[in-house]
Amino acid sequence: MLWLVGLGIHGYKGLSAKALEVLSSINTIYVEKYTSPMPDPDIDALKGALNKEIKIVPRWFVEDGREILESAKSNDVALIVYGDPLIATTHLELRVRAEKDGIKCRVLHASSSITSIIGECGLHMYKIGRIITLVSEAQAIASIYYTIYSNLITDNHTLILLEYNQEKNFFLKPNDAFNMLLDCEKDQKHDVISEDIFAIVASRIGSDDQRITSGRIGSLLRYDFGAPPHSIIITGSLHFTEIDALKVLTKMFDEPTNNSKGITKIAEQMVQKYVPKAKRALEQAMNSVNDDKGFSEIFENAEYYISDAERFLKQGKLELAVLSIGYAEGLIDAIRFLKRVNA
């Protein structure tokens, strides 16, 4: 039988009474410390508390999984895992493989950094959108940016977990994460991230040295948050009780603002940009064309569709607004193409 035992976020004393009971009767105990760093004193204390040997195993050992599963076929085996065991897909996969091999598997859940961070910051769980992990590899940054964007549009907060690489002993710093997001804004240009966006940095949650800092990204950019691990939250619209909680529970550099308020949908941005552009182009085209070979009908239609786009925008029918402004531009540009040839 395989036990996946959650350690929770409070060090080795985060193990539940049930977990200690189970572990005391098991001889083969593994512990992983690659999903989150577990300090050596904690591991030593764990060995002392259980009064038996435990094997610290690297990521590849759990991903490979064969030794664990082989052993679990005939013996009781436990893998101790930081936080809540099934949040890491590696552990989920091990569980599924165990069941497929006919090995009974039970999970002892424990406190997760996800729900803990949200609660410690005073935010409502029901306002959390899709959770993401930010890694320093630049490739993934655009998808992170669009998740924040999508969460903000639906008024949700975004919890951003920051890369931890045990082999390289690397923790992505909140400061670097903010700079990556600001750089991404320069490419994507949807006004999602700026130095004025309100953010929260949750540091060392669950430890005695826990600190939470909040404020404009501009204020947080050069702040020293101390030892890792850290997570970031980009808040959406905040309930007044959340604002109240943030003021009490965090070191706050700036008053919280509603980050969702400044977000306009891409479609909205397009229409706002292209309507005045189309109006100018139409005026120029009307002034420069003298013959009336059907041009007047095109002008009338272009005018009609520009005002349609404005009306649809007001009604929140954004797709129709984009379609209309695109159509108007097509009509106007057709004249431009013809004129260039006829000039």
Burial-class residue 243 by CB neighbours within 10 Å (0-12, 13-18, 19+): middle
Distance in Å, CB of 222 to a second copy, minimum = 28
Position 342 contacts a second copy (CB under 8 A): yes
Q: How far is the CB of 39 from a second copy (least distance, A)?
A: 15
Using the minimum distance from each CB to a second copy, give the nearer residue, 68 or 118.
Answer: 118
Smallest gap from Cβ 196 to a second copy, in A, equals 25
Crossing angle of helices 141-153 and 174-188, rounded to 10°: 80
Q: Dihedral of CA 266/268/272/275: which sign?
A: positive
Q: Based on the shown chain and the rule CB under 8 A, indicate whether residue 332 belongs to the binding site for a second copy.
A: yes
Residue 63, interface with a second copy (CB under 8 A)?
no
**298 in Cβ contact with 286 (< 8 Å):** no
- 116, 122 contact by CB (below 8 A): no
Residues 2-21 that bind a second copy (CB under 8 A): 6, 8-18, 20-21
Distance CA(136)–CA(147), nearest Å, equals 17
Q: Determine, following the binding rule CB under 8 A, whether residue 229 of this chain makes contact with a second copy.
A: no
CA-atom Rg of the chain in angstroms: 28
User: Residue 96 or 227: which CB sits closer to a second copy?
Assistant: 96
Nearer to a second copy, 133 or 257 (CB): 133
DSSP notation for 165-195: ETTTTEE--HHHHHHHHHHHHHHH-SS---T
CB of 29 to a second copy, least distance (A): 16
Cβ proximity to a second copy, 217 vs 250, nearer residue: 250
Of 114-153, which residues contact a second copy (CB under 8 A)?
A: 114-116, 118-120, 122, 124-133, 150
At residue 129, what are phi and psi to the nearest 5 degrees? Answer: -85, -160
Q: Is 250 in the site for a second copy (CB under 8 A)?
A: no
From 211-219, 254-262, 280-288, 333-341, span contacting a second copy (CB under 8 A): 333-341
The smaller minimum CB distance to a second copy, of residues 56 and 334, is found at: 334
Applying CB under 8 A, the site for a second copy has a residue count of 93
Shortest distance, position 170 Cβ to a second copy, whole Å: 20
Coil, strand, or helix at residue 235? Answer: coil
- Closest by alpha carbon to 82, among 170, 8, 171? 8
CB 270, min distance to a second copy, A: 6
| Minimum distance of a second copy from residue 266's CB (angstroms) | 5
The separation between CA 309 and the C-alpha centre of its own chain, rounded to angstroms, equals: 33
Give which of 178, 104, 189, 185 is closest to 136, Cα–Cα.
Answer: 178
Q: Does 228 bind a second copy (CB under 8 A)?
A: no
* Least Cβ distance, residue 15 to a second copy (angstroms): 6
Select 64 or 99, whichever has its Cβ closest to a second copy: 99
Phi, psi angles (nearest 5°) of residue 139: -50, -45
Smaller CB distance to a second copy: residue 77 or 309?
A: 309
Residues between 272 and 311 with contacts to a second copy, criterion CB under 8 A: 274, 293-295, 297-298, 301-302, 305
Rule CB under 8 A: which of 97-116 touch a second copy? Answer: 99-100, 107-112, 114-116
The answer to whether 230 and 171 have CB atoms below 8 angstroms apart is yes
| Preceding peptide of 229 cis, ω within 30° | yes
Q: Write down the least CB distance from residue 173 to a second copy, Å.
A: 22
* Cα–Cα dist 164/155, whole Å: 28
3-state secondary structure of 139: helix
Segment 167 to 226, residues that bind a second copy, using CB under 8 A: 206
